[in-house]
């Protein structure tokens, strides 16, 4: 079963007028992971698609998506897939990829239909592409690690870069995830902006009663969304994107836009946050 919903782009002036429900309707994404279903959100931020696939007892095939306007979803797109569940298999382009928890798979433009099978919980990210780079399965041992923050500021963390220029080529998709050291809860703080790229976060590995407070908005007028386990949020280019959890968690970040330069950001000073 395939379901697709749409998120239209919201400008910063319009966002200021939104109440909590309005913010959640525009930026928050839940219900992505349901057994026997593929659930996608088609965003108008660089045409990024965010979604989830949970095969359960039968394989699921992702092929035609009306919102893409092509016969098959990857006719003019590339895709990143992160397995946040148990072992599963993804098949595309005539190849089968066995994916353990935490593995990331890159599929290029033209790879054809995508089949999900096994006990995996597959997080799906896709954006338009202009070139067919080689497909690649990237286990965590092949990811680039970046260590940031410190325990004293509660943001000591390790960033794992998978679909990233330092690891492999892609058109515009950049994907990785961030894990926190014991006692640290703040992500992406100090905050920053990158007007040339949108971003999406998926928060997972949260306990049932734990929450992440995701901060967004312009630096001069910040807002927040309360996130549960396996919920995602789309971050427009004009918005900060940082958060703090009530307990341990991991988050997957994905970007699309004008470039793939992970360091192309405008830092926001703490004194400028309101």
Q: What is the pLDDT of residue 73?
A: 98
Q: What is the pLDDT of residue 218?
A: 96
Residue 126 forms beta bridges with which residues? 49, 79
Angstrom distance (rounded) from CA 241 to CA 234: 9
Residue 243 forms beta bridges with which residues? 187, 214
Angstrom distance (rounded) from CA 104 to CA 114: 15
Q: Cβ(180)–Cβ(250) under 8 Å?
A: yes
Distance set, CA 50 to CA 78, 123, 209, 219 (Å): 12, 8, 24, 25
Q: Cβ(85)–Cβ(120) under 8 Å?
A: yes
Give the annotated binding-site residues.
192, 194, 199, 241
For residue 103, give its domain range.
2-272
In the structure encoding, which two tokens stand for residue 111, read together?
Answer: 């790879």
Give the annotated binding-site residues for Zn(2+).
192, 194, 199, 241
Output the 3-class SS for 207-235: CCCCCEEEEEEECCEEEEEEECCCEEEEE
Q: What domain count does the chain have?
A: 1
Residues 6 or more apart in contact with residue 208 via CB below 8 angstroms: 229
Q: What is the pLDDT of residue 226?
A: 98
Q: What is the pLDDT of residue 184?
A: 93
Per-residue pLDDT tens listing for the chain (274 residues): 999 999 999 999 999 999 999 999 999 999 999 999 999 999 999 999 999 999 988 999 999 999 999 999 999 999 999 999 999 999 999 999 999 999 999 999 999 999 999 999 999 999 999 999 999 999 999 999 999 999 999 999 999 999 999 999 999 999 999 999 989 999 988 899 999 999 999 999 999 999 999 999 999 999 999 999 999 999 999 999 999 999 989 999 999 999 998 888 999 999 999 9
Hey, how many other C-beta atoms are within 10 angstroms of the C-beta on 82?
28
Q: What is the pLDDT of residue 176?
A: 98
Q: What is the pLDDT of residue 38?
A: 98
Q: For the chain, how far is it from start to end, CA to CA, in angstroms?
A: 43
Angstrom distance (rounded) from CA 121 to CA 81: 10
What's the distance, CA 112 to chain centroid? 22
Burial class (CB in 10 A: 0-12, 13-18, 19+), 72: middle
Angstrom distance (rounded) from CA 183 to CA 202: 20
Q: What is the pLDDT of residue 248?
A: 87
Hey, how many other C-beta atoms are within 10 angstroms of the C-beta on 118?
17
Angstrom distance (rounded) from CA 220 to CA 207: 32
Q: Cβ(22)–Cβ(41) under 8 Å?
A: no
Distance set, CA 197 to CA 34, 118, 173, 176, 255 (Å): 29, 33, 10, 15, 6
Burial class (CB in 10 A: 0-12, 13-18, 19+), 56: middle
Q: What is the pLDDT of residue 189?
A: 86
CATH number, domain at 25? 2.60.120.10
């Amino acid at each position: 079963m395939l379901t697709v919903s749409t998120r239209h782009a919201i400008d910063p002036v319009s966002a200021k007028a939104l109440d909590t429900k309005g913010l959640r309707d525009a930026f928050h994404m839940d219900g992505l992971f349901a057994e026997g279903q593929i659930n996608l959100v088609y965003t108008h931020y660089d045409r990024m698609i965010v979604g989830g696939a949970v095969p359960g007892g039968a394989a699921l095939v992702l092929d035609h998506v009306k919102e893409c306007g092509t016969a098959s979803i990857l006719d003019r797109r590339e895709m990143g897939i992160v397995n946040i569940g148990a072992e599963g298999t993804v098949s595309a382009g005539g190849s089968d990829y066995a994916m353990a928890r935490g593995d990331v798979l890159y599929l290029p433009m033209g790879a054809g239909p995508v089949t999900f099978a096994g006990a995996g919980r597959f997080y799906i990210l896709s954006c338009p592409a202009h070139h067919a780079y080689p497909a690649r399965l990237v286990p965590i041992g092949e990811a680039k690690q970046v260590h940031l923050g410190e325990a004293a500021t509660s943001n000591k963390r390790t960033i794992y870069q998978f679909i990233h220029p330092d690891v492999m080529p892609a058109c515009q998709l950049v994907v990785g995830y961030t894990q926190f050291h014991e006692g640290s809860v703040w992500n992406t703080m100090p905050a920053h902006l990158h007007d040339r790229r949108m971003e999406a976060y998926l928060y997972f590995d949260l306990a049932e009663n734990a929450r992440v407070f995701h901060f967004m908005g312009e630096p001069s007028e910040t807002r927040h969304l309360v996130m549960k386990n396996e919920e995602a949020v789309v971050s427009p280019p004009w918005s900060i994107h940082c958060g703090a959890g009530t307990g341990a968690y991991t988050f997957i970040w994905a970007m699309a836009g004008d470039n793939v330069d992970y360091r192309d950001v405008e830092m926001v000073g703490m004194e400028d946050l309101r």
